[in-house]
Amino acid sequence: MVNITINNKPIHVPEGTTILEAARENGIGIPTLCYYKGLCEAGACRICVVETGGALCAACNTPVAEGMDIQTNNANVREARRINTELILSTHQVNCPSCERGGNCALQKLAEDLNIKDTPYIKDVPKNNWPDGLILMRDESKCVKCLRCINVCTDVQGLSVWETHGTGARMAVGVKNHAPVRESNCVLCGQCITHCPVGALYVRDDTEKVINALNDPETKVVVQIAPAVRAAWAEGLGIEANEGKLACAVRKLGADYVFDTNFSADLTIMEEASELLERLANKEKHEWPMFTSCCPGWVNFIKKQYPELMPNLSTAKSPQQMFGAVVKSWFAERENLEPAKIFCVSVMPCTAKKAEAESAEDGMVDAVLTSRELARLLKACQVKILELTYEPFDNPLGEYSGAGVIFGATGGVMEAALRSAYYFATGTNPDPDAFAAMAESLEMDVISLGAMGFTASPLTMEIRNVPVIPRRAVYPEDKKNFVWLYENETLKKRYVKTGLAFADDIQIIQGLEVGQLVVLIS
């Protein structure tokens, strides 16, 4: 343990702890802007400065040392923070009332906390040259150069879309090699937007398009709501999440029908389960393994980074697109509605869902809103949130099974597909814990795939009517063959001549016998 003093308070912390961590663990606040634990700890903004030994240092990346006497809020520290914040504001487009992050901005809160009303420095705001209409929007005039977008895209997502251009005072953040973002590796995962502390990165706002449809008396507005939104929608409104109140709120906007996307999740599962069984019956006609994903960001990743794996993807539409197709065909006929007069709106948690709807050839989904857009729409339409009552989703597209519900959990799509495939093949439902092995092994799969740039669901195969899940993927050095293996001496000996890499730490899944499974994709 290291003995230090913060603001005259004796503190004992483990060696290697930063000043910021030590302070926060002991209830002492230090403001930050660029800092994000485990991702961005460079101290670039210098907002977290503290004084120790008569000198200022960044608290976020300075480890504690024995006998340190730290002051976090004396006159020198407050003046330094104020100057650094004012310098950042001098290059920042301050239009908070109309900003995407107005009221939820780290820089805005910092200025308020420091009681900054104006900056004494000459304003030198960068010009914004980002094209209009893109799903991923960027306003360079609001960038604070925290580098979070670069770090999350490079170190977590492995795509390296963003980089720094120039040096010193001329340093700026932009797309790698100054390329247009459409030509970059961007898959619209939205992580750069999520991690941006200000309004420099945001999703294109489509609320006006929805408002126009709601105001058209000849248009029937049908809204589908993703399961994740039911938990997240209320966060921006300061209330407790309640799916019944969510349905009520959307009806208050003027929507004619409000459905739960879980219904079409069940349809997707039935299609994917049927496709899996068909592939297993005709193995020689298909590429293996079969990947299932309802995430358009992940599908974009495969298209851009590993196009050779496209034949391995399930051909089933995502629940969003399947819902749009059902609404403008079966539901339109059932309700005696003209499909052209139906405006289908999806409320989704994912940026890439907008791109999925726009790229679909059928045009079944007319607009996609994020949770933040829904919250802004409710405010703009003066919906009185505190007066909402419980209302169920509409039927028949509002009911769903447990298979649709587990979509929101990691591995849930594949588990639901396996459970449905089991039922189709045997005529009976599997035991509740029949696929527990998959849930237990999935974290290992995701970690090992992530190290190779993948974020995929695990392979599924049916061996003697028992679905099996591999524990790890092994990537050979030539990167042309993709192989899934179990630790198994018989299999090692059988395939050692291929020269492929083998993993020695893989455990055989319970019930899998020696020699039962090796899948080699060439």
Helix, strand, or coil here: 234? Answer: coil
Instruction: Give the C-alpha separation, 77 to 166, whole Å.
Output: 30
pLDDT in the model for residue 218: 95
Lowest model confidence (mean pLDDT) among 44-58, 174-188, 444-458: 444-458
Check whether 201 has a pLDDT greater than 90.
yes
* Architecture in CATH for domain 206-432: 3-Layer(aba) Sandwich (3.40)
pLDDT band at 114 (very low <50, low <70, confident <90, very high): very high
Measured N-to-C along each axis, helices 352-359 and 319-326 cross at an angle, to the nearest 10 degrees, of: 40
Is the distance from CB of 332 to CB of 338 less than 8 angstroms?
Answer: yes
Is the distance from CB of 317 to CB of 267 less than 8 angstroms?
Answer: no
Instruction: Give the C-alpha separation, 82 to 80, whole Å.
Output: 5
Q: pLDDT of 252-268, one tens digit each? A: 999 999 998 888 888 88
pLDDT in the model for residue 511: 35
Beta bridge mates, 40: 36
Can you list the positions of beta strands (E) in 388-465? 461-463
* Architecture in CATH for domain 126-203: 2-Layer Sandwich (3.30)
Can you list the positions of beta strands (E) in 105-241? 136-138, 162-165, 172-175, 201-203, 220-225
Check whether 213 has a pLDDT greater than 70.
yes
DSSP 193-254: HHH-SSSSEEEPP-HHHHHHHHT-TTPEEEEEE-HHHHHHTTGGGTS---HHHHHHHHHHHT
pLDDT in the model for residue 58: 96
Average pLDDT, the chain: 81
pLDDT in the model for residue 419: 83
Check whether 420 has a pLDDT greater than 90.
no
pLDDT in the model for residue 437: 59
pLDDT in the model for residue 398: 60
Burial of 133 (0-12, 13-18, 19+ CB in 10 A): exposed
pLDDT in the model for residue 47: 96
Tell me how far apart the terminal alpha carbons of the chain are, to the nearest angstrom.
54
pLDDT band at 436 (very low <50, low <70, confident <90, very high): low
pLDDT band at 471 (very low <50, low <70, confident <90, very high): very low
Query: Same CATH fold, 126-203 and 2-89?
Result: no
pLDDT in the model for residue 404: 63
Q: pLDDT of 72-97, one tens digit each? A: 999 999 999 999 999 999 999 998 98
Is the distance from CB of 423 to CB of 402 less than 8 angstroms?
Answer: no
What residue spans define the domains of the chain?
2-89, 126-203, 206-432
Q: pLDDT of 9-51, one tens digit each? A: 999 999 999 999 999 999 999 999 999 998 998 888 999 999 9
What is this structure's pTM?
0.78
Handedness of CA 326, 331, 334, 337 (dihedral sign): negative
pLDDT band at 515 (very low <50, low <70, confident <90, very high): very low
Beta bridge mates, 92: none
What residues contact residue 109 under an 8 Å CB cut-off, 6+ apart? none
* Architecture in CATH for domain 2-89: Roll (3.10)
Nearest alpha-carbon partner for 369 in 221, 152, 153: 221
CA 105 to chain centre: 20
Nearest alpha-carbon partner for 207 in 377, 385, 381: 377
CB atoms within 10 A of CB 332: 18
Q: pLDDT of 343-363, one tens digit each? A: 999 999 889 999 999 988 777
Check whether 507 has a pLDDT greater than 50.
no
CB atoms within 10 A of CB 412: 22
